[in-house]
Structures are given as structure tokens and as C-alpha cells.
Structure 1
Amino acid sequence: MTRHFGRMIASAWLICGGVAASSAASASYQHVLLISVDGMHAIDLANFVAAHPQSTLASLSHEGTVYPNALTTTPSDSFPGFLAQVTGGTPKSTGVFYDDSYDRTYFPAGSNCQGEPGTEVPFAEDIDIDSKRLDAGGTPGQPQTQIDPKKLPLALIDGKCTPIYPHAFNRVNTVFEIVKQHGGRTAWSDKHPAYEWVAGPSGKGLDDLFALEQDSLIPGTKVKTTGSFKAQRDFDEARVKAVLNELKGLDSTGATKAPVPQLFGLNFQAVSVGQKLPKSGPGDEAGLVGGYTGPDAAPGNALAEQLAYVDGALGELMSGLKEAKLTDSTLVIVSAKHGQSPIDPATLQPVDDAPYTKMPGYGFHIADDAALIWLKPKERAAQLPAALAYLEQSAKSLGIGQILPANALALSYNDPATDSRTPDFIVGVNPGVVYTSGKKIAEHGGMNQNDRSVMLLVSAPGMKPASLPALVQTTQIAPTILKALGYDPNELQAVRQEGTTELPGLPF
């Protein structure tokens, strides 16, 4: 059921510092709660709802539209995957291919912009004040205290050597920026302080970012949070509490009063770790096994536990909406930044990615279950043929299933000869190949179906249950958010550049 709010409610929004009056007449919802369950496939949602008909996910599905054929970006990494949801764009418009990537015009941290340009751009835990600490060495809710500017890549801007913060790396605006420009409050919670990029290129799109460091060490151990199923659930739950604080009219830390955000949410990491971690870690009960048991995506006992946790946490959030009397005025969107591969454990093929460093003209690469490769800027033109020949010769040993060279990438993204970000090669792997020197049993970032197929559910009270089999993209979430809030989706630069449409079949 579509909800249209009249002038009285619109006036109330303005009194409370809410949205602009021009949008009130066309707004279907006052709030959007956006949730990313990283790693969760469409089949995971279908299996869970079938096995747990009384679950929160089942309840949301019964009052919402499920898209069983939703695809995230290629590459299917966290940064481009979430940028899709909040910009409406792919790396073609955002210029962001991975959370650890490369720019041919940047200089390394600490270089004072001296030497040849072209450097790795590591926007994850690498830029924390202290990545071993949960608070990243700063104060949660204040990302500027958690990021060390001395660790940031550098660029010459108007002749001045300037540190590049994550928000300045993205080339297009975000839904958070647009909501802020219309007077609404915004908030987000994620796994690294580097997610301050959600604020958009202006750096002004977020009122409240509650970021903890996922790669911090579990207290009393030398094991990262990602090395324990329980530690990962605790990590997520701390951020659930931040969103519950926001629903109570507080900031994410609970320290000060603040209006309930018009656009807000968080990501969950529990399922992703449940898919990747092979066995119990610190704090876990013995005998837990991560991943799936077969090609039907039946979860192992550890992954089943992680899925159940996320469903319970979603229940907490739905109860929080109810207590705040916001259920009827809030659109809930649940999706995933990425999937995870492989689902079938019998296909797992661990491969060492070190040989990529030996290719002619090598500059930088990142490999999880795909490989993105940049050659040295001054050598690339001369070395492209030899580099391609090297990849072809190494295809079997590296598990390569597909090579996308520069001319193919120019069709889907921008020409690497003229764009500073587009890789010189993207390598797709055979199903089941995971680049690892450790013991992880799944990864994401690639272009296979298990990487790209993600859950997507849009729900609100009064919506008729529907399952739309049409192929959709997670880029369509961003314009859908703006339409629900009564704003013009064409305010998004990526929507205009890439022609992104809203999700089909919704009653608003």
C-alpha cells in the first residue's frame, strides 16, 4: 500500500529539521532503513525462509517484494558493491573497482608526491590509526579521529600535494548526500572507518558514521575478529545497538539526542565470515564448520548459526521501529554488497596468486576470486602484449577462466589508456578457484554467479507479497531510495550517466 503524507505531516518534518517541503507531497515514506547482509545469496534467503516460516526474514518477505535474480556489480567487492546501492552506479561512473585498488596519477603515502605517479590505494584497515583495536585507534562516531592522514595516498591538486580521503576517491554523489541536501538526517554503520566515503565526494553526506574495525584483534588473542564466528556476531551486534540508539532519538553512541535519521542502516558481516571461515575460532563452541554442505546451499552448522543471528538482529531492528512508532513510515531494504564463492565445497580450488607479480610491466594487483591487474603507467603501452601472453600461458596454473584485456574493459568501464583507475586486465577464474595462501574456503570480488547473485528484499507494512523473477541490479536500489523519499532519482550523477532505473514492481 502506497503511503502519501499530507501537509500536516510535511510541516511536522520541517519543524523537526526533517525533509524539504518540496518533497513531502510525493514522498511515500519518511524513512528508509537500508541493510546489507554481506555474502547472502538469493538462494540463502529462499532456503532460510522455507526452513524458518516464523522468522523475521519470512515476515519481511510476506510484506514485501523479493527479487530472486538480483545481481551485484562486477567486480563483486564490498566497495563497488555498496557504491552500487548508494550511487546507482558501477565502477564506470564511481571510479572505484575494489577497496584495495590503484590510481595511475596518485603517489604513495609519505612520498610528498615525489617520484613516478601510480600507486596502490588501500582503503580498508590499512588507513586506521591502529587497526588492531576495535575503535581503530579513535572514537567511533568520529571517523576523522580513526583515520591516519599520513597513511593516505597523495595527489597533486592545483599544484599542492594533498592526502586523498576515501570520500574524495568516489567520483559521483551518494543518496546520503542528496538526503542531506534536502534537510534530512543521515547515518550509517560499517566495518572500517574508511566507509566515511558514504558521505560522498563532498564529505558532507553523513551526520553519523559508526565504524568499528573488523580486522581488529579479539581481546587477549592475536586472532582477528574475522577468525571467530562469535566474535563476528559480537562485532555486528555492537553496530545493531548503534542503530537502535538512532531509533530512540539518540546519536549512534547513545551519548546525545538527535532526530531519527531519514536514511540510515548498517551492514552485517556474520554471514560472510560464516561462509569463509572453515572452523571454530576463539570463543566458539568446538565442532563448528563454516560454509555450505553441497550445491543446494544447505548451510553448515556455523553458517546456519550466523544466518540465525542475522535474522534475530533484524528482529531487534524491527522491534526498534515498532517501539519508535516508525514501522508504517519506514521502507526496509535488505540486500548484500556481494555474494560468496564457491557454494559447493567440492569445487573449492585454493590457488596462490603470487605469479601475477611476475608478469611483464607489473604494477599492482588484487586477487580474491578474481584478479584485477594494473601495469606500471610508463610501461603499460609497451608491455600490454607481453602481459596478455603471460596470462594466457599461466591460465591453467592460476585457475583463469576468462581474461578481460584493456579493449574489453573499455566497453564496460572506461578506457584504461585514458582513465587513471580502470585496470589493464580483469581475470575471471574457473568456478571454485579462491586465491589464498591460508585456509579460507570462500571469497568474493569475482564475476561468477556465486559472487554476483545476492538477496534483495524491499518491505513495508501493507505491501502485498511478491516475487519478481526479472533480472535486476543492485544499482537500482539507489534511485528506489530517493523515489520512496520523494526525491528525484536523477539527482544522482551515476543514475544520469548510466541510465539506472528504479526497481520494478513496487507500489510507489
Structure 2
Amino acid sequence: MKATRRWSAGVAALGASALALGGALAPAQASETDGVKHVLLISFDGLHAQDVARCIAGNTCPNLALLAKSGITYANAFTPGLSDSFPGLTALVTGGSPKSAGLFYDVSYDRTLYAPNDTGCVGKQGWNVVFDETTGKDGENGGPLVHLDGGGAFNPQAIPRARVGAKCVPVYPHDYVKTNTIFEVVKENMPNSYTAWADKHAWGYDWLNGPSGRGVDDLARTEINSIDPATNTYYLDTYTHTEKFDDYHVQALINEIGGKDSTGTRDEPVPTLFGTNFQTLSVAQKATVATGGGYLDAGFTPGPQVTGAISYIDNALGRVVAALQQQNLYSSTLIIVTAKHGQSPTDHTKLVKNGDTLTKLLEANNYLDPNGNFGQNNTKSGNLNDGTGLVNTGFVQTDDVGLVWLRDQSQRDAVVTTLKKNLSCNAPGICADGPQAYILYGPSLVNRFGDPAQGRTPDIIVQPNPGVIYTSSTAKDEEHGGNAPDDSHLGLVVSYAGLHHPGRRVDERVTTTQVAPTILKAFDLDPHLLHSVALEGTRALPGLGLRSDE
């Protein structure tokens, strides 16, 4: 029996203006997802829409093809403006962009926060927030990441502080996300529900629990940046080694489908809502073309590593579906296959790696410390997130995008002028002189990503020409994080045995934020229970015969 719809206290707290976005609730109508008891969400990071089309046409992903045959393929699905892992997954589980959810990158900056060691919140504000592999206890004092579970606890040096009333409190990742998650909504509105998730960082992804801190019953603690004791090397060193890490997630899902927890050591209900993330494809895409990584041409023809990675993730998908079938759960499970982000550039001829010219330009003009002494770039140990980074310095995060938090916000217009004078790819230019590049600031940035004056949103976002990576690294030829076509255009397949007209393709442009309200509607829950959905007016995916939002 499906849960009744009701409004949570969290949504009520948003106020009448936010609730008005949702409009009046329509009476329940029959939908093609009647009978859904479980939802499985899988992110194959790096999976482009073109990868899905090519592998299905070429019969190199037979398991995904079977799901597409019994489901709907969304050929024009895109991330909401930024495509790093945090905003990419936030879109899928909150229904919102960084504007409402507040997550721009796993390494970012917040002008309102205090340093972790400022236990009285009496010093300067402005902290470089780092919720990545170093958020686990192993990262304390820059230590080696020797445990798969990240050390079994939070690294206290990684947890910034905030003043709340008269108190100075720690800000854990679940405190940092600004809006609730689908896991919280399911827990609060479906009696006896159970939730589970596994991801690439053991402690940084605590934010999936949402502001309550309790959204995910079984949040697997797996750290991809840890050292494999069997080889004494990192799981990320090659895509075939990353397969071993992703196998932990396959087994976690199989355990959960079989009525166990993710470790397989205790009995638990089969999750109502569960899922995981896979990294193998992403690692193969990033590998240099010279070593067999990436793609062979502009048509997304996979190189040897990507070919192997697609075969692996498809086999992993087949193992999970087989487990659902074995437990007689396949017919009652809605399966969603997508990605947090793609990878750019897939066309190797567009690759430009001139180094981090954006940061260098800002330093050279004294908009940031000219010697790089800002944020977590300056620590006593030289290791990121040891708690000794500088406060109130501004910060720049670059990959195939540039996020700029200025040391002095009053210099914004001068900074923009400097950037616009240096758009070319010739030093010291930032390689943003093409038609798909832009510098976002002022009202346009506020409209898309929120107001920098509130402390969380970058002052300036630089989207360089597609193909540009702000690095001189020889270890990778592709990256993600921005809004280039190759890292924002994703694969998305929604499959359910009960669909009336399966095997369809939807060409309408959609965003990955629409996955979250779709999941709630499949459970017959009101999507506006998600704060981001109420604030941003996010619609469910079309074509599933779901109850109208109107």
C-alpha cells in the first residue's frame, strides 16, 4: 500500500512564497509506475548520452540495452550548470541546482564559516571547505589513506565551524547541504522504509543524509582514494584497479537486495530507495590517449580503456539486475541509470592544457595572494585539509571550469575587466575567447547560482572554451566540473517492467534535477516535499505517465 501524501515541517518552514511555487495539489491519478515498491538509482560517472546510444547500437552494453527496451531513454539530459560530483549528485537526490542546494564542488569556499580549530568562532570568517577523501579520519595531519572505510570516523581537522545563535558548532557535510534529500523524504513519509547508498568518498558524502543527518540508513563507507592493501597502490591508479573498488559497490547492492546490510553481515530490510556510484568509466576516460584512455575521435568512438570500462559497468549492471530477478524484486523496482557528470573533451583535438592560467592571472594582479598563500593551498604540513589552512583569503577551484571566490569582493568589477582583457589562449590568457565560453558574474550569476553576498556562491564563474583543462598534468586528458557539452550531456535511462509503452526515446531537453521528483512520484509522494523542488519548480521527467505537476 502506498504512503499518503503529506507536507513535512521542513517544507512548511520555507514559507508561503516557496509553497506557492508548487501550486494546488492535484488528486491522485493512475500512472505507469503503479506497483513500484523499490527505486534503484545508479550513477556511472562519465556516462554520456552518446555512450549510451553507441553501445546500444553496437550491442556492447546488452544489459543496459535490455533496460532501455523496457524503459525510456532520455537522449537530451543535462546537468544543471555545473557538473562536478557534488552538484551532479545533488541534482539527482535533491531536485535542485547549486542555487538552492548550495553544493558547488567537493572543494569550495564559504565566507560565513570559521576554521575547524576556532572552537569559539572568535577569529576571522571565510574557510576553504574540503569534503573529499581527506574528510575521513585517515586524512588527519595529512596521513596516508590506509583504510577502505576512510579511518572509521570524521577527520576533526576537516570540519569547519559556524556560529548558530550563541553557539559555535561544527559543520559536518550533512549540515552543509542547504536542502533536504530524497532519502529524508522517503524516511519521513513512507512507514517502515529503509534507505541505502554507496559512493566514492567514505565521509565526504555524509551530506546525502540531508540536514537531519539521518536520511540514509546504510551509508556505505568506501574510500576510492585509499590504498589497496593487496597491492599497496591506490584504487584510482588504473581503470582495471578501479573495477575492484566498484566491485565493492556491486556486492553492496547484491547484499542489500538479499536482505542484508551493505557489508552482508547483518539482516536488514530490502531498501525502499537505494543506489550507488561507479568510477571505472570516469577513470578510463581521464586516462591519456597515449596510454589508451579516452576516445578515438569526435564521434565518441571509445578507446581501449573506455571500451573495457563500458563492458565492465554493463556486466556490473547485469549482476545487479540478476540479483533483483532472483529475489523476485525486478518487477517492483524502478531502475534509473545515469551519471553525476560526463567528461571533457572527448574530442582529443580540442584538448588544451596550458596550466592553471586563471589562478596565475588572479595572483599576478594581486586579487589573490601572489605566492599562492590562500585557503588550503597554504598548510603547515603541505597536505590538504590538515586544519591549518589560512582563513579569509578567497579561493579558486579549477578543472574545466573556474570558480572564483575573491579575497576582496569589492574588486569584482576590476577582476572581470582583467579577465576580459586576457581571454585568448596565449599566456597569460585564460582560453575563454570562443563562442561557448563565458564569464558569469553579477545579476546573471545570482539568477543561476545564488547571491555571492550570502557567502557560499562564487563571485565569478569562468567557463573556458570546450576542451580546456586548467592544468599542466600529464596524467589525464579529460576532466569535469563545468558546463562544457561533453561534461554536461549525460546518459539517462529509466526502466520499469510495468511501463505501458516501453522502449521509447524522449528527445525533449531535460535536466538531471528532474530525477528526484520522478522518484518521489513513483512512490506516490508529493515532489514538493523536497525543498529544492519547491524553490526551483522542478518538474518530474516527461513520458512516464506520472500525475501532473499542475
Tell whether the structures are fold-level matches, with TM greater than 0.5.
yes
Distance 1:173 1:137, change over 3 A: closer
Alpha-carbon shift at residue 21 of structure 1 (Å)? 6.2
Alpha-carbon shift at residue 385 of structure 1 (Å)? 2.2
Look up the match of 2:360: 355
Alpha-carbon shift at residue 220 of structure 1 (Å)? 6.5
Counterpart selection for 1:151 from 127, 150, 158: 158
Alpha-carbon shift at residue 22 of structure 1 (Å)? 6.4
Question: Are 2:495 and 1:466 aligned?
Answer: no
Q: 2:227 aligns to what SS in structure 1?
A: coil
Distance 1:103 1:60, change over 3 A: same
8 Å CA contact retained: 2:150, 2:226? no
Counterpart selection for 1:91 from 83, 90, 98: 98
- Spell out structure 1 runs of 4+ moving beyond 6 A: 21-26
Distance 1:56 1:123, change over 3 A: same
Alpha-carbon shift at residue 431 of structure 1 (Å)? 1.4
> In the aligned structure 2, how far is the partner of 1:481 from the partner of 1:137?
30
Letter paired with 1:390: T
Q: 1:261 aligns to what SS in structure 2?
A: coil
The structure that is strand-richer by fraction is 1
Look up the match of 2:270: 260
Alpha-carbon shift at residue 158 of structure 1 (Å)? 1.9
Look up the match of 1:133: 146
Question: Are 2:368 and 1:368 aligned?
Answer: no
Distance 1:54 1:226, change over 3 A: closer
> In the aligned structure 2, how far is the partner of 1:54 from the partner of 1:44?
10
Look up the match of 2:76: 69
8 Å CA contact retained: 1:30, 1:329? yes
Q: Deviations over 1:130-171 (max 9, x none)?
A: 152242443xxxxxx332233211111222222111011111
Alignment of 1:185-196 (within 5 A): 185-193=194-202, 194-196=204-206
> In the aligned structure 2, how far is the partner of 1:423 from the partner of 1:356?
17
Look up the match of 1:247: 257
> In the aligned structure 1, how far is the partner of 2:366 from the partner of 2:156?
33
Look up the match of 1:442: 478
Look up the match of 1:433: 468
Query: In terms of mean alpha carbon deviation, does 406-415 or 95-104 score higher?
Result: 406-415
Question: Are 2:365 and 1:329 aligned?
Answer: no
Letter paired with 2:496: A
Q: 2:349 aligns to what SS in structure 1?
A: helix
Aligned length: 474
Alignment of 1:67-216 (within 5 A): 67-112=74-119, 113-131=121-139, 132-138=145-151, 145-182=152-189, 183=191, 184-193=193-202, 194-216=204-226
> In the aligned structure 2, how far is the partner of 1:226 from the partner of 1:238?
14
Q: Deviations over 1:361-402 (max 9, x none)?
A: 3310100100000012xx212x11221122223322222232
Which structure 2 segments of 5+ residues have no match?
7-27, 140-144, 369-393
Alpha-carbon shift at residue 45 of structure 1 (Å)? 0.4
Look up the match of 1:478: 516
> In the aligned structure 2, how far is the partner of 1:231 from the partner of 1:111?
40
Q: 1:226 aligns to what SS in structure 2?
A: coil
Q: Deviations over 1:312-338 (max 9, x none)?
A: 000000001011110110000011101
> In the aligned structure 2, how far is the partner of 1:391 from the partner of 1:458?
42
8 Å CA contact retained: 1:192, 1:214? yes
8 Å CA contact retained: 1:149, 1:163? no
Alpha-carbon shift at residue 357 of structure 1 (Å)? 4.8
Look up the match of 1:380: 409
Question: Are 2:456 and 1:421 aligned?
Answer: yes
Which structure 1 segments of 5+ residues have no match?
1-9, 11-18, 139-144, 280-286
> In the aligned structure 2, how far is the partner of 1:213 from the partner of 1:137?
6
Alpha-carbon shift at residue 40 of structure 1 (Å)? 0.6
RMSD: 1.9
> In the aligned structure 2, how far is the partner of 1:169 from the partner of 1:351?
34
Give TM-score, length-normalised by structure 1.
0.89
Identity %: 43
